[in-house]
């Protein structure tokens, strides 16, 4: 499970597109600043809840879930959700 307190930023956007921000949005944890997005704790926590729900779902296809250590991503339908962890 992903802990929202350890997430520096989160992304939600179209699946199978780039993640530069042209097909989605970045949201930053209130304790961090940077990038082009606003500090939006509520939206970040909503993305983390969606990621956790998908990770707990036994029907979530494993080829649509990624965990590289510094981030975790899930594809749900036509949406991609990514949580990037603090250094």
- Domain with 64, as residue range(s), is 4-85
- Residue 36: the pLDDT is 52
- 3 backbone dihedrals φ, ψ, rounded to 5°: -95, 115
Burial class (CB in 10 A: 0-12, 13-18, 19+), 72: buried
Q: Are 65 and 51 in contact (CB under 8 A)?
A: no
3-state secondary structure of 33: coil
Q: In 3D, which of 50, 41, 46 has the Cα closest to residue 8?
A: 41
How many domains is the chain built from?
1
Tens of pLDDT along the chain (87 residues)?
Answer: 999 999 999 999 999 999 988 999 988 887 665 555 555 888 899 999 999 999 999 998 988 999 988 999 999 999 999 999 986
């Amino acid at each position: 499970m992903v802990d929202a307190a350890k997430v520096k930023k989160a992304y939600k956007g179209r699946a199978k597109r780039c993640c530069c921000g042209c097909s989605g949005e970045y949201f930053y944890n209130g304790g961090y600043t940077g990038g082009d997005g606003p500090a939006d704790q509520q939206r970040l926590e909503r993305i983390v809840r969606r990621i956790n729900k998908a990770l707990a779902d036994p029907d979530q296809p494993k080829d649509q879930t990624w965990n590289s250590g510094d981030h975790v991503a899930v594809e749900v339908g036509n949406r991609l959700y990514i949580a990037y962890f603090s250094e």
